[in-house]
Amino acid sequence: MKSKKTESSTSWLYSPSPESTAHISLRESYDLYINGKWEKPISGKYFDSINPANEKHLAKIAHADQADIDKAVKAARKAYDTAWSKLSGSERAKYIYRIARIMQERARELAVIESLDGGKPIRESRDIDIPLACNHFFYYAGWADKLEYAFPTRKVEALGVAGQIIPWNFPLLMAAWKIAPALATGNTVVLKPAETTSLTALKLAEIIHDAGLPPGVVNIVTGFGDTGAAIVNHPDINKIAFTGSTNVGKIIQKAIAGTSKKATLELGGKSANIIFDDAPIDQAVEGIVNGIFFNQGHVCCAGSRLYVQESVAEKVIQKLKDRIQTLYVGDPLDKNTDIGAINSKEQLQTIDKYIKIGIKEGAEIYQPACNLPKKGFYCPPTLFTNVAQSNLIVQEEIFGPVLTVQTFRTVDEVIQKANNTPFGLAAGVWTDKGSRIFNLTTKLRAGVVWANTYNKFDPSSPFGGYKESGFGREGGVHGLSAYVKLS
């Protein structure tokens, strides 16, 4: 296999270093994990999961409908009433620790499957997604018997059955973000992964099974939007936790309006990365690249709008272009790869549509010359300069490796521009001045503001948005409150 390269990087091309798939075992087809057993979908319907890097078939996945969801919710309710709510916090913690430890033991397998199924570079799934997912279970296992300290003087009760729906950009990590706090607080779960990335959630079902959780405490059901809607609309669900697009978030909010269901919604983003003239420029350029290009821009908090102070704009843009030329686009399983495959054909079409819009809007495009693989879904890193705040490529979420660059002169101007978006998930600030950082963190309307770094996550740190980026927080003590009733 030949490593993917950009023209300018041919002189120092790395040898290919593909991760082995020899230790991976995938079934030909996956059923639904309901009540501690693998159940065939009542309709008998399955769909294909493919590898977006080469369009090869990976496995058949069950498509759950309303009747299957009803079975899963009944199992979760029974498990809640008869088993999980009867356990002490320290007993629940033992199960959650066990899940975390088995995940760690199987980390390599999970990382490879994540890259095969989702297209993200193995370096990302191996070093970021899977360790963070394990840490999330470890972190919340620690809270399970300490809820009275998380909420002093309050009576803490679980909500009951949580319906959880997750997207394709961080499949296992999002499953961990949803399941770990729900279990720690005593809830039972029906979780649906995204249709293009079901495999690591199904592997997690195997792990949960091996950890010996009582049947029905965690149920993993697969399918499309109709399956998600069946969870949202099921009358015996107490809580909906959703991560995905703002459009579906709005549908969910309408669907549960007037019911007693609680909800947390983590939706889209169009996050600003702001570079001041006193910033460590090389470090900032690396942070920008990490914030938008690694992981194909498939991060809801991706720093997709860059604001550079005018006096250093020329320098920063040149350094960015130089750095982008050295990025490897290609086989997600190659350890050298920086930008893997776009998750699906549909997503690639969306990104291409926005790139065309950007060109039509008069923006200047820069893409390094890349030898993209013939099969699979790939997009080179793309930089747009000469853009205006009103351009669609600045306003709308693209969810791909596309960065818009604008300049600013004053702090007030950049705050106004950064906040001029329907979203409010994250932002980055690069400067040498601590006072400037604190000034901006209070004024930027974003759930997370990173200073002199980007895309850093920790289970103890809450994450969530403002405005159309959703509401509710995941992670940290805040993440517990989304799953409890306090009195």
Active site residues: 266, 300
Q: Which of 245, 371, 395, 439 binds ligand ADP (CB under 6 A)?
A: 245
| Sequence-ordered list of residues with C-beta below 8 angstroms from that of 235, at least 6 positions apart, any chain | none
The CB-nearest residue to ligand ADP is 228
> Residue 263 or residue 394: which is nearer to ligand ADP going by CB?
263
To ligand ADP, the closest distance from the beta carbon of 211 in angstroms equals 24
DSSP 128: I
To ligand ADP, the closest distance from the beta carbon of 36 in angstroms equals 23
> Residue 169 or residue 309: which is nearer to ligand ADP going by CB?
169
> Residue 245 or residue 367: which is nearer to ligand ADP going by CB?
245
Could you tell me which of 234, 219, 147 has the C-alpha nearest to residue 188? 219
Report the C-alpha gap between 173 and 124 in whole angstroms. Answer: 12
Q: Which amino acid is at 474?
A: E
Window contacting ligand ADP (CB under 6 A); options: 136-144, 243-251, 387-395, 404-412: 243-251
Could you tell me which of 483, 485, 487 has the C-alpha nearest to residue 183? 483
> Residue 62 or residue 444: which is nearer to ligand ADP going by CB?
62
To ligand ADP, the closest distance from the beta carbon of 227 in angstroms equals 7
Question: Is residue 297 a contact point for ligand ADP (CB under 6 A)?
Answer: no
Question: Is residue 248 a contact point for ligand ADP (CB under 6 A)?
Answer: yes
Q: Which amino acid is at 162?
A: A
Report the C-alpha gap between 166 and 173 in whole angstroms. Answer: 10
DSSP 403-469: EEEEEESSHHHHHHHHH-SS--SEEEEE-S-HHHHHHHHHHS--SEEEES--S---TTS-B--SGGG
Question: Is residue 45 a contact point for ligand ADP (CB under 6 A)?
Answer: no
Report the C-alpha gap between 434 and 273 in whole angstroms. Answer: 17
Beta bridge partners of 305: 272, 404
Q: Which of 34, 128, 162, 194 binds ligand ADP (CB under 6 A)?
A: 194
What CA–CA distances, in Å, run from 198 to 171, 195, 352?
8, 6, 25
> Residue 248 or residue 327: which is nearer to ligand ADP going by CB?
248
Q: Which of 41, 52, 121, 244 binds ligand ADP (CB under 6 A)?
A: 244
Could you tell me which of 288, 68, 28 has the C-alpha nearest to residue 190? 68
Q: Which of 83, 150, 251, 411 binds ligand ADP (CB under 6 A)?
A: 251
Alpha helices for 211-325 (secondary structure H): 225-233, 246-256, 281-292, 310-325
To ligand ADP, the closest distance from the beta carbon of 63 in angstroms equals 11
Question: Is residue 373 a contact point for ligand ADP (CB under 6 A)?
Answer: no
Using CB under 6 A as the binding rule, the residues of this chain from 53 to 112 that contact ligand ADP are none
DSSP 4: P
> Residue 194 or residue 308: which is nearer to ligand ADP going by CB?
194
Burial of 452 from C-beta contacts in 10 A (0-12 / 13-18 / 19+): middle
Using CB under 6 A as the binding rule, the residues of this chain from 201 to 240 that contact ligand ADP are 224-225, 228-229, 232
Using CB under 6 A as the binding rule, the residues of this chain from 166 to 185 that contact ligand ADP are 166-168
To ligand ADP, the closest distance from the beta carbon of 246 in angstroms equals 8
Report the C-alpha gap between 381 and 405 in whole angstroms. Answer: 13
> Residue 196 or residue 385: which is nearer to ligand ADP going by CB?
196
Q: Which of 130, 165, 237, 306 binds ligand ADP (CB under 6 A)?
A: 165
Would you tell me which residues interact with ligand ADP (CB under 6 A)? 165-168, 192, 194-195, 224-225, 228-229, 232, 244-245, 248, 251-252
